[in-house]
């Protein structure tokens, strides 16, 4: 599902009679599968009325009269009604919206939605490219996905005018390397790939053959690596390496009340990306809302209404999102499987933070899928959030959850660095689940402080703090680790609702029921936890915390009670 976006801009000047023709061609090419040949936007400035229209070939043609150009620049911003938006909730306003942003981008002007407006966005293929500050205020946007021309075309693309470029001459990299041999125009986001090595060879119902070894990190103009988001793999060979300059000026997008009328497509892995795609570094989303209506007994999944990729330093705050209904299909193993459907996705992104965010539906309602999915990210943060899930599929390096409440899907992660959970309540089957489909691996430490764990959201059952599964018989493309050190301080386990056979909570679930003695051989050895440090761990049941149902597997773990 990873996607990349590219903006190509050209200028044409043409004089005919007394008229000055000024053409601004702006074409958003959504690689990574979002769209193959999106229509162009052409802006003219003729002595005719300001209007937006679509040509026969789908090209968006925007004319802004010289008088209006002067008026908009004098006023200092543009609105959607300036470009013909009806804002009646029935007429398709997407062309006017795209035209307004195209003009604003060319003149460096902010965009403001009209007060009290309701904008209807049909299923016609059109993407509005945002490169300037945008204030949607309390305006409403209705996104109709019942009949869509291109399910991969974003509604809005938050884009940079800076272009990526290839990096040549670097043949290898080492984990935690502090500098690369490159001189750059400024701070850059570096993406490196070795297509000869496969990682994340998935196991289970959604099994696959893995993905090319990939890493993403930031460097300054001298090639010095930001060690807060370090290189996490050894690259013995590099098949592709690129640098994307980082926008240093903050772009802000505020407000907006979005409602998606859900698709009614067949329930299979045809993800819908009718979203706000953020592919620019240094972006703030503040005060946005997204709701979903019209979900039926079937439908295709969504890749994320906020889709954050190939960028750094994105903050989402004071935002309300919605979990999507869970549908099932036949997976790669030929068996029924529930499809992940997301309102937030982050892919190849660094320093992504969520502050004071929540979701409209019950975080404990299992009929809705967990709200976040991520791949190849570093330094992800929840702070004062109420969400159904935190999730890292293909690895996260460093993650923090604090002052938050997580619901039925809890914390699911694989990765490296430090995973910190503090001042939070987790209402899930385990406090932290190490995803078994990617090897239940975490190369680093867990730090859990001042938390409440409610096993299974209060339903009767057993309780384990760290969950996962590892047989040692599958090659995931890398050595799999359990966190080397687990620090748990001031944890209360609310296991008051438990069955009669309950023996008390365990630090680890039974990761491998077959490993009960030395006869079980791991073809791909699992590096077990070395140390667990416990301080003030209490239970509602009064039963003591145990190491695991599988005492043999964790026999060498050193447990310190302080």
Predicted confidence (pLDDT) per residue in 151-189, tens digit: 999 999 999 999 999 999 999 999 999 999 999 999 999
Instruction: Burial-class residue 544 by CB neighbours within 10 Å (0-12, 13-18, 19+).
Output: exposed
Residue 188's nearest CA partner among 231, 220, 232, 230 is 220
pLDDT at 39: 54
**How far is it, in rounded angstroms, from Cα 41 to Cα 103?**
10
Q: Which residues touch 209 (CB under 8 Å, ≥6 apart)?
A: 198, 201
Q: Identify the segments of the chain with pLDDT beneath 50.
A: 1-38
Question: Is the distance from CB of 306 to CB of 278 less than 8 angstroms?
Answer: yes
Which residues partner with 422 through β-bridges?
402, 449
**How far is it, in rounded angstroms, from Cα 360 to Cα 345?**
17
In which residue are the tokens 């944890």 written? Answer: 491
pLDDT at 500: 87
The secondary element (H helix, E strand) that includes residue 363 is: none
Neighbours of 168 (CB within 10 A): 9
pLDDT at 2: 35
Residue 62's nearest CA partner among 128, 112, 15, 6 is 128
Report residue 13 CA to chain centroid gap.
41
**How far is it, in rounded angstroms, from Cα 337 to Cα 465?**
26
Q: Check the CA dihedral 225-230-236-241 and report its sign.
A: negative
pLDDT at 29: 27
Question: Is the distance from CB of 320 to CB of 363 less than 8 angstroms?
Answer: no
**How far is it, in rounded angstroms, from Cα 380 to Cα 382?**
7
The secondary element (H helix, E strand) that includes residue 49 is: none
Question: Are β-strands 19-30 and 41-44 bridged in parallel, bridged antiparallel, or unpaired?
Answer: antiparallel
- The three-state (H, E, C) secondary structure of 269-320, written as one string: CCCECCCEEECCCCEEEECCEEEEECCCCCCCCEEEEEEEEEEEEEEEECCE
Residue 44's nearest CA partner among 19, 72, 69, 24 is 24
**How far is it, in rounded angstroms, from Cα 435 to Cα 446?**
15
Question: Is the distance from CB of 131 to CB of 281 less than 8 angstroms?
Answer: no
């Amino acid at each position: 599902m990873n996607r990349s976006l590219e903006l190509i801009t050209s200028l044409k000047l043409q004089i005919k009679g007394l008229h000055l023709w000024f053409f601004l061609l702006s074409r958003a090419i959504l690689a990574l599968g979002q769209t193959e040949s999106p229509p162009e936007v052409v802006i003219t400035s003729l002595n005719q009325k300001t209007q937006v229209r679509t040509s026969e070939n789908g090209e968006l043609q925007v004319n802004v009269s010289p008088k209006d150009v002067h008026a908009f620049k004098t006023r200092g911003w543009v609105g959607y009604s300036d470009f013909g938006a009806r804002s009646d909730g029935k007429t398709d306003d997407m062309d006017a919206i795209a035209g307004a942003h195209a003009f604003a981008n060319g003149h460096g002007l902010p965009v403001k939605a009209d007060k009290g407006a309701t904008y209807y966005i049909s299923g016609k293929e059109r993407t509005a490219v945002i490169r300037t500050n945008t204030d949607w205020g309390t305006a409403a946007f209705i996104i109709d996905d019942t009949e869509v021309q291109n399910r991969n075309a974003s509604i809005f693309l938050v884009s940079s005018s800076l272009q990526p470029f290839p990096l040549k001459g670097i043949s290898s990299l080492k984990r935690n390397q502090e500098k690369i041999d490159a001189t750059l125009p400024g701070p850059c986001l570096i993406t490196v790939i070795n297509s000869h090595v496969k990682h994340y060879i998935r196991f289970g119902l959604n099994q696959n053959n893995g993905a090319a070894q990939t890493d993403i990190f930031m460097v300054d103009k001298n090639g010095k690596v930001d060690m807060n988001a370090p290189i996490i793999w050894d690259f013995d060979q590099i098949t592709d390496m690129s640098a994307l300059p980082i926008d240093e000026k903050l772009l802000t997008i505020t407000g907006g009340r979005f409602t998606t009328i859900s698709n009614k497509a067949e329930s299979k892995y045809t993800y819908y990306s009718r979203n706000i795609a953020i592919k620019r570094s240094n972006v703030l989303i503040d005060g946005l809302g997204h709701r979903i209506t019209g979900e039926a007994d079937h439908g295709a999944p969504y890749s994320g209404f906020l889709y954050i990729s190939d960028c750094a330093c994105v903050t989402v705050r004071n935002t309300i999102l919605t979990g999507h209904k869970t549908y099932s299909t036949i997976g790669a193993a030929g068996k029924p499987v529930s499809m992940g459907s997301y309102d937030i996705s982050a892919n190849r992104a660094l320093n992504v933070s969520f502050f004071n965010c929540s979701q409209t539906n019950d975080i404990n309602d299992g009929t809705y899928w967990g709200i976040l999915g991520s791949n190849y990210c570093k330094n992800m943060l929840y702070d004062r959030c109420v969400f159904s899930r935190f999730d890292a599929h293909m690895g996260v390096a460093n993650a923090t959850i604090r002052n938050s409440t997580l619901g039925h899907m809890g914390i699911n992660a694989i990765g490296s660095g430090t995973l910190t959970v503090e001042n939070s309540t987790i209402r899930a089957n385990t406090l932290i689940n190490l995803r078994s489909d990617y090897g239940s691996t975490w190369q680093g430490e867990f730090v859990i402080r001042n938390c409440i764990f409610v096993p299974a959201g209060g339903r009767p059952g057993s309780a384990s703090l760290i969950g996962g599964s590892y047989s040692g018989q599958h090659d995931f493309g890398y050595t799999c680790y359990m966190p080397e050190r687990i620090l748990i301080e001031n944890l209360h386990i609310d296991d008051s609702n438990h069955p009669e056979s309950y023996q008390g909570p365990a630090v680890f679930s039974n990761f491998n029921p077959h490993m009960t003695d030395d006869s079980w051989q791991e073809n791909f050895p699992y590096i077990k936890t070395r140390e667990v440090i416990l301080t003030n761990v209490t239970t509602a049941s009064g039963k003591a915390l145990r190491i695991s149902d599988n005492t043999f597997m964790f026999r060498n773990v050193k447990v310190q009670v302080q």
